[in-house]
Structure 1
Amino acid sequence: MQTYKYMLGKTQITYLVTDKGRTSFVMLPADEAGKLAVNWDSEPAAADAANEYNKEWKPGTLVHLHLRHHKRSLGNGSTMKYSESTDQLRFERQWEETQNSQTRIITVLASPENYKVIHTLTWTHGQTAIFCETEFVNESGRSMVLEMLSSFCLENLSPCQKDSDQTDKLALHRFRGSWALEGMHTAQNIEELGLQKAWCSPFPKSEKFGSIGSWTTQTYFPTAAVEDREHHLFWAAALEYNASWQMELSRDGDTLSFSGGIADEEKGAWSKTVRPGEHFCAPRAYVAVVKGDIYEACQSLTRLENIAADAYGEQGLPVIFNEYCASWGNPTQEKVLQFAQTIKGKGIRYLVIDAGWSKDSQEQLGNGEWLVDTKRFPDMKEMNRKLREDGFVPGIWLEFEVTTMGSRVYEKEYDPMHLKRNGVVIHNGPYRTYWDFTNSKVTDYLRAHVIDMLKEYDFGYLKVDYNGNIGMGCDCGESLGEGLRRQMQGVRDFFIRMKKEIPELIIENCASGGNRTEPSMLAVTAMTSFSDAHEAREIPYIAANLQNLVLPRQNQVWAVLRKDHTKERLEYGVAAGFLGRLCLSGDIEQLSEDQWQTISDGIKFYQGLEQILKNGVTRIFGKRSAYIRHPKGTQAAVRANDREILIVCHGFEDTDDEFSIPIEKGFQTAGRYGRDIFCVEDDRVIVKKMEEWTAGAVYLIKK
């Protein structure tokens, strides 16, 4: 066994290369590297049913893949990992290179059949998480068909455990997706998952999970972590992919393997033909190891998204007004200009027209041509000129990836431009079909009807909605899963094209709320809709869940204001917006001066939170219930960095008694909003017992 060690910031990477050339790596915080179990041996002991402990350590791999012409493992039906395609890979060479602010470790694995895998870890200086990229190269003289290729593999888990059974010591952390109930965190130990070790391990077994189709967070978010509870270590990973994906926690012997990538042939009907001389890159992944808790593990991943957010975002975190919960799909030019006069001078930059503005449209129906309804908006260009004159950036809603019943382009003559599955046009529900983004006629059409329209009317903000899932795949590739990959790559490329042609454009990513809140789409948009929970009392619960999964600076949270809201109810809604990007809507013209004062106080408080929302780690305190729809208890979302602390508390039903939140010494109060519930002491903040359905926030700075 040979080892090669590298330091990437505070993370030590140890590559393990067996005498036969099998290669894997171990990630540990530098301070924990000495805890690496030293009794591993590349030769497993013979299985004996009478023995309490049968040693079956296997060295793992940098990548799992399966080629169609190879034999699968005995894990067939559970996992496509551990196949002959993986077994053939052997270490060829490795090198390290540093350029500007990035260091890369590149490893080449080769097969006797002349295919290779290039595995690259890229560390951006100052970050905790690391980019992981996997590239398959066909150097043979024949085509090869990939049916599975991992983006990342974190093997030998846990490397600090000497006991192969690892009873009650390891757990899998996941985050559920569900419409208007996004981001629920779950943690299950390996015994609950059926991954404890039997007396021997002839059959690999796996807990495989993910989301299928173009709603990438419909079932799970593509972020997960494995915890070593004894050593307080977390190995976390996220996938940068906007189509069907999977992750797997699997066992083949003594240790666990955590991997992920494109949903494979068994889960996502994916296969890819790679011709001689061609290569294929799996979606990029983020990986990290931290000593601490799940919050630090997840937010080490999301901090990598700051790089993209700087390119597609804007200076500051300005407040948005979206008129949807005021007009409910029936906007008019007259109403929009009235809204503008109501909110003028109140610290709001973006005024967004939502669904229902286009010709023949009825919110979800009649969409596809994107022609202005001149009855509702007789002079949209003049309207936007007035909005800009009053200091607003005008915004518009579009769902340009689909056509819906009632639109001319929904009709049968346009079928050649729509996605098909097995030769039949794909419908989502009774009235929605999908443009084929691999067809140049489609992207040319949308350039004229979307990009040119935005330019003509001088819109500076675009809300892109997406109210349906394509499903398993489509015909524009050699397999359904590959067709979906190409389709969704085309969609993402169009987002990039919009920003390139209109550099000042601010793009919001929405999919019936938060159904594609994943890193690849976050990387090409300024912000994402957190949920379709427009007015529900669980909004702060959902917004807090998403702190683990998306940067607050990109997490747009609804605060819908109603004329019958009490001061306490207004504070409750506005304070939820402090957990991300504050987006107002509702009965803004019918609010009293006192109500507006409560809202204005909230906006003023929010405007001081730019740095803490951009840089920090959020942890949840209090005892909130597991039930999101009707939450009980108290939630305290605490976001902190070296210089600032923001605490946002919401009291649900049956609130908790007084509790305290530990803080570092040396902080003082710089601002408060809502209920007076905080007592700031030297090394803690006491949260008094809250009344039901109330909120309070406090902002602390270092003395």
Structure 2
Amino acid sequence: MPIESAAGRVRWTSGAVELLLLADDTAPVRISSLRPAEVQPPSEDLAVNLVELNLTGHGRIHQPPGTRHRTYAAADGLRLVDVAEEKNAAGNEVLVVRQASSDLEVVSRIESWAGTSVLRATTEVINRGIGELTLAYLSSLALAGFGGGLRAGTRIHQARNSWCAELRWQVLSPEQAGLVSILGSGDPKDRFAATSLGSWSSAELLPMGAIETDELTWTWQIEHQGAWLWELGGLKEDLYLQVSGPTDGEHQWRQRLAPGESFTTVPVAVAVTRGGLDDGLRALTSYRRAMRRPQADHSKLPVIFNDYMNCLWGDPTADKLSPLIAAAAEAGAEYFVIDAGWYSDDSGWWDTVGAWEPSKVRFPDGLGVTIKEIQDAGLVPGLWLEPEVVGVRSEIAEQLPPDAFFWRDGRRIAETGRYHLDFRSAAVRKRMDAVVDGLIAQYGIGYFKFDYNINLPGTDALGEAPGAGLLGHNRAYLSWLDDLLDRHPGLVLESCASGGMRLDYAMLERMTLHSTSDQVELLAYAPIAAAAPSAVTPEQGAVWAYPRPVHTPEEASFALVNALLGRIHLSGRPDEMDAEQRIRVAAAVSTYKEYRSLIAQAEPFWPLGLPGWYDDQIALALVADGTALLAVWHRGEGATTVDVPLPGAWRTAEVLFPADLPTTLDLTGDRLGVGLPAGPAARLIRLQH
């Protein structure tokens, strides 16, 4: 990957992607473009600083640009020191750009991922002065050179996210986003900003975004499970993008640096691709598979039964679990997870959690008897935990030292009956190590569902700004997960945060799989399930499949199809079903096992576009090795034929599930007509070349 440096330009080619920087003695290093190597870059006049940073007390160099994080004096004083290429521990090539001012050294690391069109960027700041400095803003990534980005053909993509309504992609024109050219008046002062507030990284928006032009698309993700920000602004007739973790203005984040101390931003990955948003999301899929921690689960894709959703609802007992265990084994599940409530004598456990010891009321003969029943049925046992909280009525809340908790203004924070634990505390890590290691040693637990059900803006327990305290905890928690998986490399960890409230690749780089939603209605889950591969690889995206005895065959099949292109989280009430209903569930699971190895390598396609929340017709395809697995959902009232444009031409099409319900298929090369009865109706179809 050669670096070409001449006449104030630095050109770095990474596979098929080319990065162009401008560097001279009169200004900070600027980024001019990031695009496929064969595509001519736009005007270099529209470059922006590679790094924007603000120090408390320094401000901006000229009239304030509204709320934009630009033109900071501290960034303006930077000058290039050197540019070099290194290879990191993962074997990836890294472009290292060093800049300095009188009291700062700033290091940008831009990492290339072989086989992808993705770069990952971080920024490190080192205090080289003699006094303390305080960072108030620091970008991880900046981009310019989109090529007339304010024109009508440009599209801005973001994904709304909320509890039980995750993964709702939206597209805006620059004008709809509030961004227009003001012609001869100079650069505008407004911006379009997307941000998270608090410790749920995707409480309102996914930590992702995209800019799509008629020719290229730039798609990014912020790899952080806490607060983040990306902003777009007009730059004459074009756009700029800046992405960061927490900031002072948005998140009460400030980072004090004593002489010699350093700070590194959260990582941001960006793909640049020809085509539209789909192409960018496929590029990120390849990157996600390359950057995450290798785990056997990602290729085996075992079927998981969990007793919570439309089932026991956090009220398990030995007697209730016994028939479920037998039914789950009969259906073909391979893991059995006891969800919330196993540790409490009654249903009022919300504000008493924290001891994580089995209830003797729920399990009078001991939890071990039920765990053995799971194992004797050929299933791997799992348990639900919420490791980052302690209930306000738990005895553990008074046994841990003060530094174990989040604090604000001298008060321990209570949020909806819970105290938030700070994983920077040695006592917290020691206790949770003992809890998890003890459950594994005593019961042979092979799966933990780590949930997270509160959202806090931060902690000032150590005298820092609240946002800095939250970031410190976030990073300590990731370190704890790393250590846990190092000790137990075969352990399966599910990330859950009231469903999809932490859909990010700081968590999913480590966690085996992710719960996509807490949505209880099968019809409403369809758009969530179909959009899930936009944010998580299909083999990590867990979707609830909860057929119940009250469902018709079409409804039960719809609930099962929801999960058949991701990870099956089987639930509902299979123990109360009749023989015909149990056969349907087992058929879905058996069919899934026939093709699941393909899911782990397949690319996602959305033939009808990324789903809208109220769409009657929805489709998702996974394509690999000459095979396409296509899920089609119909939520309309009348019978219909869904016309599905396909990625490429195909020779054969067959219904895999449900095979016993009426369906017509009309395949003509690159289009498939799927005839379905009145909704709800869903089918899983296999196409082959």
TM band (smaller chain): over 0.9
1:262 aligns with 2:245: yes
2:199 to 209, 214, 239: 214
CA shift for structure 1 position 309: 4.5
How far apart, in 2, do the equivalents of 1:189 and 1:396 lie? 46
**Matched position secondary structure for 1:491:** helix
Q: Tell me what 1:196 maps to.
A: 180
Which amino acid is the alignment partner of residue 457 of structure 1?
Answer: Y
Matching residue of 1:138: 127
Give the aligned partner of residue 560 of structure 2: 574
> In the aligned structure 2, how far is the partner of 1:246 from the partner of 1:389?
49
Query: 1:570 aligns to what SS in structure 2?
Result: helix
- Conserved? CA contact 2:628–2:687, under 8 Å: yes
Is 1:29 matched up with 2:41?
no
Q: Which position in structure 2 is the counterpart of 1:293?
A: 276
CA distance in structure 1 between the aligned counterparts of 2:665 and 2:269, rounded to whole angstroms:
37
**1: distance between equivalents of 2:418 and 2:484?**
23
Residue in 1 that maps onto 2:3: none
Are 1:67 and 2:55 counterparts? yes
Task: Name the aligned partner's letter for residue 192 of structure 1.
Answer: Q
Q: CA deviation at 1:84?
A: 0.8
- 1:572-605 Cα distance to aligned partner (Å, 9 max, x none): 0110002310111111111122112211221122
Matching residue within 466, 487, 509 for 1:501: 487
| Amino acid of the structure 2 residue aligned with 1:534 | V
**Corresponding residue for 1:83?**
72
The 1-side partners of 2:362 and 2:171 are apart by 50
In structure 2, give the amino acid aligned to 1:185.
W
SS at match of 1:303: helix
What are the residue-to-residue correspondences of 1:248-287 with 2, within 5 Å? 248-287=231-270
The partner residue of 2:413 within 409, 423, 426 is 426
How far apart are 1:612 and its partner, in Å?
Answer: 3.5
Partner of 1:594: 580
2:676 corresponds to 1:686: no
The gaps in structure 1 that reach 5 residues or longer are 41-56
Matched ranges for 1:415-564 at <5 A: 417-429=404-416, 431-476=417-462, 478-564=464-550
- The answer as to whether partners of 2:25 and 2:79 remain within 8 angstroms in 1 is no
Specify the alignment match of 1:699 in structure 2.
686
Whole-angstrom distance in 2 between the partners of 1:142 and 1:236: 39
Bigger CA drift: 83-92 or 280-289?
83-92
Give the one of 564, 568, 589 matched to 1:603. Answer: 589
Cα separation, 2, equivalents of 1:390 and 1:473: 45
How far did 1:15 drift? 2.1
One-letter identity of the residue aligned with 1:391: G
- After superposition, the Cα gap between the structure-2 partners of 1:79 and 1:455, relative to the gap in structure 1 and judged at 3 Å, is farther
* Residue 104 of structure 1: aligned partner: 94
Q: Are residues 1:17 and 2:1 paired?
A: no
- 1:304 match: secondary structure: helix
CA distance in 1, matches of 2:362, 2:317: 5
Write the distance in 2 (CA, Å) between the matches of 1:189 and 1:632: 22
**Which residue identity is paired with 2:471?**
R
After TM superposition, the structure 1 stretch with the greater mean CA deviation from structure 2, 267-276 or 414-423, is: 414-423
The answer (yes or no) to whether the contact 1:71–1:84 under 8 Å persists in 2 is yes
Aligned to 1:8: 14
User: Corresponding residue for 2:385?
Assistant: 398
SS of alignment partner, residue 263 of structure 2: strand
Matched, 1:227 2:216: no
User: Sequence identity, in percent?
Assistant: 24
Once residues 65 and 464 of structure 2 are traced to their aligned partners in structure 1, the CA distance between those partners, rounded to angstroms, is 23
Provide the rounded CA distance (Å) in 2 between the counterparts of 1:109 and 1:667. 57
CA distance in 1, matches of 2:14, 2:346: 54
Does 502-511 or 384-393 show the bigger shift?
384-393
Find the residue that maps to 2:304 and give its secondary structure: strand
Deviation at 1:616, TM superposition (A): 2.9
| Cα pair 2:169 2:610 within 8 Å, conserved | no
Write the letter of the residue equivalent to 1:178: S
Provide closer, same or farther for how the CA distance between residues 663 and 202 of structure 1 changes in structure 2, counting only shifts above 3 A. closer
Q: Is the 8 A contact 1:205 1:252 kept in 2?
A: no
Q: Distance in 2 between matches of 1:271 and 1:248?
A: 19
Q: Corresponding residue for 1:331?
A: 316
Say yes or no: does 1:170 pair with 2:154: yes
- Superposition map of 1:49-64 within 5 A: 57-64=45-52
The correspondence of residues 331-370 of structure 1 with structure 2, limited to 5 A, is 331-360=316-345, 362=347, 363-370=349-356
**How far apart, in 1, do the equivalents of 2:636 and 2:397 lie?**
47
Change (3 A) 1:521 1:313: farther
Candidates 110, 115, 127, aligned match of 2:116: 127
* Most deviating of 470-479 and 634-643: 470-479
Q: Return the alpha-carbon distance in structure 1 between the equivalents of residues 418 and 80 of structure 2.
A: 50
Map 1:370-381; keep pairs closer than 5 Å.
370-377=356-363, 378-381=365-368
1:195-250 deviation per Cα after TM superposition (whole angstroms, max 9, x unaligned): 2121323663322221111111001111101122x32x111111111111111112
- Separation of aligned partners in 2, 1:477 and 1:284: 25
SS at match of 1:534: coil
* SS of 2:158 mapped into structure 1: strand
Question: How far apart are the structure 2 equivalents of 1:625 and 1:134?
Answer: 35
Contact 2:301 2:597 in 1 (8 A): no
Are the aligned partners of 2:46 and 2:144 in contact in 1 as well (CA < 8 Å)? no
- 1:96 Cα offset (Å): 2.2
In 2, Cα distance between equivalents of 1:620 and 1:677: 21
For the 8 Å contact 1:133–1:152, the answer to whether it is kept is yes
Q: TM-score, normalised to structure 2's length? A: 0.92
Output the amino acid matched with 2:99.
L
Query: Structure 1 residues 489 and 418 mapped into 2: Cα distance closer, same or farther (>3 Å)?
Result: same
Amino acid at match of 1:244: A
Shift of 1:21: 4.2
| Cα distance change on mapping 1:357 and 1:409 into 2, 3 Å | same
Deviation per CA, 1:44-76: give whole Å up to 9, x if none: xxxxxxxxxxxxx44312111111131225346
Is the alpha carbon distance of 1:22 and 1:255 closer, same or farther for their aligned partners in structure 2, counting shifts above 3 Å?
Answer: farther
Give, as a single letter, the amino acid of the residue that structure 1 aligns with 2:204.
T
- Structure 2: stretches of 5+ with no match in the other structure: 1-6
Partner Cα distance (1:522, 1:660) in 2: 31
Aligned-CA RMSD value: 2.3
* Counterpart residue type for residue 675 of structure 2: K
Cross-structure match for 1:52: none
**Shift of the alpha carbon at 1:274?**
1.5
Q: Which whole-Å deviations, capped at 9, do the CAs of 1:362-382 have from their partners, x for residues lacking one?
A: 352321111110121222223
SS in 2 for 1:607: helix
* Partner SS state of residue 84, structure 2: strand
CA distance in 2, matches of 1:304, 1:214: 25
User: For 2:119 and 2:413, how far apart are their aligned partners in 1?
Assistant: 38
Distance in structure 2 (CA, Å) of the matches to 1:658 and 1:350: 35
Partner of 1:53: none
In structure 2, the CA distance between the partners of 1:392 and 1:467, relative to structure 1 (3 Å rule), is: same
Give the TM-score normalised by the residue count of structure 1.
0.90
Q: Is structure 2 residue 640 aligned with structure 1 residue 662?
A: no
Alignment partners' CA distance in 2, 1:671 and 1:657: 15
Which position in structure 2 is the counterpart of 1:50?
A: none
Residue 688 of structure 1: SS of its match in structure 2? strand
- C-alpha distance in structure 1 between counterparts of 2:160 and 2:616, whole Å: 21
Of 616-625 and 219-228, deviating more is: 616-625
1:306 equivalent in structure 2: 289
- Superposition deviation, residue 433 in structure 1: 1.5
Q: Out of 98-107 and 311-320, give the one that drifted further.
A: 98-107
C-alpha contact (below 8 Å) 1:212/1:471 kept by paired residues:
yes
- Tell me the distance in 2 between the aligned counterparts of 1:620 and 1:10: 25
Deviations 1:480-512 (A, max 9, x none): 110111112222222223222222210000011
**Other-structure match for 1:47:** none
Pairing partner for 1:183 from 167, 177, 181: 167
> C-alpha separation between the residues in 2 aligned to 1:268 and 1:455?
41
- The answer for the alignment partner of 2:4 in structure 1 is none
Letter in 2 for 1:251: G
